[in-house]
Every structure is written in structure tokens, then in C-alpha cells.
Structure 1
């Protein structure tokens, strides 16, 4: 079985059976001001989980685009990130980034920050 299929199955089972048991305290929802302060630090990972088209229409400088809606590719790409370095997520309005954050918890990420209101609130 390929690693992608294994990751998808593990993620699905985790979200199915572990959603209520997840420790969502690892996810911090930040205001625009707090988010700007956070991403100004040296050692952070900034991830835009919107589609490539949304990303091309405007994004936060330095962001890596990992489309949450492309679940197989999303899982493959986030496994390349460092689980020990804080990760800052955003989407258009906050829904997808919150779902992505929950998935990152199930994958072992420790420190996750989500932009309140998403990119719409940033602009």
C-alpha cells in the first residue's frame, strides 16, 4: 500500500474515531494583530490552506500554499513540515484552516495558530 493511501486511511480513521478525543488546546485562534506578531518571528511555518487560484489572487508574504481541499496532496505536503516548529494557518474566512488545524493535531503537530476571520480579515 502506498504511503499516500496509508496516510489517507489513518487520517480518516483518526478523524472518525478521534475527533472528540482530540486536544484542541493546541490550536490558538489569533486576531490579525496577534497573527502578524507571531509570523514576524524567525522560526515559524506559515501555511495558506486555500486553493491555488485563491492563493494567486493574493496571500500573506512568505506563505506556503497547501490546499486543504486536495486531501491526498495536503497530507503528503504537511508531512514535510516540522511538527516541532509553530505552524500558522489561514484560509479565506477561517473554516478550512480550523479543519486543517484539527487534522494537524491528529498528525502530531504541537503548536498551531489559526488566523481569526482568515484572509478576509487580514485585508
Structure 2
């Protein structure tokens, strides 16, 4: 598993995995995967086991938190990886162990 750390703030680093690594994880065990895309984007395709929480909704964090187990890692995916990075930082501030999927669903579609 590779790790990429993003320097968003002096005190915040974010773990990141590739879509290939995500595929391996999904094949081995059930994970908490949050898809933060809009309903319109999800209509274009999605990962079957994903939980949906639209990042653009005002109550995004509250909706996501209701669906998550704080004791398990949370993987986040969006269209390209940027929005899920922002969503991951929000959940990280709330005490969740978050991992961003780089390349997002666009990369996932290319590889699968």
C-alpha cells in the first residue's frame, strides 16, 4: 500500500491510496467507502458497496457520520480525488481515520 501525504495545513496530513489499492481492499474485506459525489454523478456509475453522502449538501458531515463506524477506517472517493480530499479533512477533524482515493471514480472507471 502506498501513502501520499498532502500538506493542507501544518498539522494535517492525509493518507491517500490509488484506485488499484482500493480494488484490492474491496476484494479482501468490507470497508467503509464514502462516495461524496452528487446524485447526478452517481447515475453515471458507482462502486456497489459505497455509502453515498453528497459533499455539496449543507449537512454533509452529519449525514456521513450517521452512516459510519468511528472505530474503522473511512475511505473517500469522488469524481477525481479533490472533493473527497476536502471531505476527508472534515471527517478527520471530527476524529475519523480517513483515507482519500486518488484519481477518484474517473480513474476507477479507466481501470475497471
Please give the TM-score of this superposition, normalised by the length of structure 1. Answer: 0.74
Counterpart in 1 of 2:56? 69
1:118 counterpart = 2:107: no
Counterpart in 2 of 1:83? 70
Q: CA RMSD in A?
A: 1.6
How many correspondences in the alignment? 101
Counterpart in 2 of 1:23? 12
CA distance in 2, matches of 1:95, 1:43: 24
Q: Name the SS for the 1:88 alignment partner.
A: strand
Q: Name the SS for the 1:23 alignment partner.
A: coil
Counterpart in 1 of 2:80? 93
CA distance in 1, matches of 2:93, 2:40: 27
Q: Name the SS for the 1:40 alignment partner.
A: helix
Structure holding more helix per residue: 1
How far does residue 21 in structure 1 lie from its aligned partner after superposition? 5.3
**One of 91, 94, 97 as aligned partner of 1:104:** 91
Q: Deviations over 1:9-47 (max 9, x none)?
A: xxxxxxxxxx735432xx321112111112334342111
CA distance in 1, matches of 2:27, 2:73: 12
